[in-house]
Amino acid sequence: MKAINFNSQEIELNHASQITAGYGHKKITVELCYEGEYKEFHAVTANMPDFDDAMDLEDYDEKQLALYNLIEYKIEDEVQEWIDSL
């Protein structure tokens, strides 16, 4: 797991994966952990240059973090609501 600073709170990135969601689009799923609770979040990106760069990374943790970074701004409200609910 990779620790991430999210709005001054530490969460852990447990896993990130991707599937094709249409021509030039990828659906990225990340599993986050906060205080022992896990939850998956999904978003679609069309940023193929950055996606390709992420997939070219050889280090597993760096690749997972790069995929998370592609969708972070799209899921931040949902993640914050989840953190607040715990």
Backbone angles phi, psi at 58, to 5 degrees: -85, -35
Average pLDDT value for residue range 20-34 = 97
Q: Over the chain, what is the mean pLDDT? A: 96
pLDDT at 1 over 90: no
b/e string for 24-54 if b means 16 or more Cβ within 10 A? eebebebbbbbeeeebebebebeeeeebeeb
